[in-house]
Structure 1
Amino acid sequence: MGIKAMPEYADPYHKRPLTMGEIGCFLSHYTIWYNVLERGQEVVMVLEDDIRFEPYFRQKVMGLLEETRRLSIDWDLIYLGRKRLAEADGEEWVEGSKHLVWAGYSYWTLGYLLASSGARKLVEGQPLARLLPVDEYLPIMSDRHPEELWKAHFSPRDLRVMSAAPLLLFPTHYTGEQGYVSDTEDSITVPSVSPHQRDDL
């Protein structure tokens, strides 16, 4: 498969290019999306390995799914844990729900529920040809990302993304805490070359 970094991408905070860890993280999620389609699965739960669960996690997740059925909600992805960014646009409660909101610009892919419709949209977006971190790709595909230059690479951007409210997953450690390790942030960056020189990674 041809994998190319998005030429315009630079980390919003550190202004650095994509790291090898971010590439690996994206590919692990992409493989799950692809397998959902290959195996004909209707709904899957995707969990990263550095999470802690809220009490009664299983019952609460089953309650969310039951609520989507009861309210006949058309959804593609539901965040179970995320970082809602301070500059996120206004979020609205899903009509009739006390536990789900339509998600604005969010980071982290700690854990989420993914419907087959969402897996199809994420794969059909062909992200490997213009790669950026997975937690930038998800809000781009739901058209809730503020960076217009990055969004212009992908169409349509109609991923229907909700979030559990309150959240059901959190990181085991936060940045700066003792024991915090990041396989994505602390890995080497992709060599900086001009867009015209950039070959497959």
Structure 2
Amino acid sequence: MINLPRRPDRRTWMTKTLPPDLPVTFTSDWTGSFDGHELTRNQLESAGYKLFPWKIESDNPWWSRPLKYGEIGCTLAHLACWRHAAETGDEKFIVILEDDAIVRSTFLEDLLVGLHRVVSRNPFDLLYLGRFPLEPEEDQPVTAGFVSPAYSHCTFGYLLTRSALDILLATNLEHAIVPIDEFLPSLYIDHPRPDVRARFPKQLKALAFDPPLVHQRPKDEAGSDTEDSDFVEP
């Protein structure tokens, strides 16, 4: 669960809504450079992190501006979760949730039923539990309740196989940090940005719950720790 120490309100909200028999690890219990309010460029460079040259001339408002420290912190939090999962436990699947995710009381049951339906028929590496599609997708579902995702944003809920962790970590994302929203789709589609596509070529098989299993709280209700941060200085 991606959660910042300064957001105990979100942690409390998530603890109340998550199934009680689902073991959860909160990033707010770790020491790490995850908070965009505290990050500096010097701090990132001293820790060995390198930023991808993100700002380009583009009509896309997300690409024509510098990275935000909140985006960097969010990416580093997801990266820390992958490393932790790779180093501990032997579970076949790892669920990553952000602390503005909305999960139903039947979340775990619905997830297991869905996995039982799809695993043997359509092997995958990444399974979106919820997302925001940015491009049209094929009308024909892969199987009942699942689609092959096109270019999508939002990482408030997804599932990884254990083998996918090795693929994610082998990309050395820490040496070319991009927003996690852009990184994940680059690994299962030809990313629309040539420079991102060249640095992170597709290598994962992705599926997505359709309809979504997890939704996201509105920004005017929960705020945005990613957007509520400064741009990285030149």
- Answering whether residue 225 of structure 2 is matched by residue 183 of structure 1, we say yes
1:142 to 179, 188, 191: 188
1:84 to 104, 119, 133: 133
- Answering whether residue 232 of structure 2 is matched by residue 160 of structure 1, we say no
Q: 1-side partners of 2:150 and 2:86: how far apart?
A: 26
The answer to whether the 8 Å contact 2:54/2:66 transfers is: no
Q: Indicate the residue corresponding to 2:141 in structure 1.
A: 93
Q: 2-side partners of 1:144 and 1:164: how far apart?
A: 21
- Answering whether residue 95 of structure 2 is matched by residue 45 of structure 1, we say yes
For structure 2, list consecutive stretches of 5 or more residues without a partner in the other structure. 1-46
Q: Among the aligned pairs, what percent are the same residue?
A: 32
SS of aligned partner of 2:74: helix
- Answering whether residue 31 of structure 2 is matched by residue 31 of structure 1, we say no
Q: Deviations over 1:19-48 (max 9, x none)?
A: 111111111110111122212442111111
Q: Indicate the residue corresponding to 1:199 in structure 2.
A: none
SS of aligned partner of 2:155: strand
Q: State the TM-score, normalizing by the size of structure 1.
A: 0.83
1:119 shift after superposition: 1.2
Q: Whose helix fraction is larger, Structure 1's or Structure 2's?
A: 2
Q: Whose strand fraction is larger, Structure 1's or Structure 2's?
A: 1
Amino acid at match of 1:35: H
Q: Paired residues, what number?
A: 184
Q: State the TM-score, normalizing by the size of structure 2.
A: 0.72
1:121 shift after superposition: 1.1
Q: 1-side partners of 2:190 and 2:110: how far apart?
A: 26
Q: 1-side partners of 2:73 and 2:108: how far apart?
A: 28
Amino acid at match of 1:22: E
For structure 1, list consecutive stretches of 5 or more residues without a partner in the other structure. 193-201
After the TM superposition, which parts of structure 1 deviate over 4 Å for at least 4 consecutive aligned residues? none
1:144 shift after superposition: 4.2
Q: Indicate the residue corresponding to 2:12 in structure 1.
A: none
SS of aligned partner of 1:122: helix
Cα-Cα RMSD: 2.0
Is the deviation greater in 5-14 or in 32-41?
5-14
Q: Deviations over 1:143-191 (max 9, x none)?
A: 2421122111124x211111001001111114xx3x3411111201111
Q: 2-side partners of 1:146 and 1:88: how far apart?
A: 14
Q: 2-side partners of 1:7 and 1:31: how far apart?
A: 22
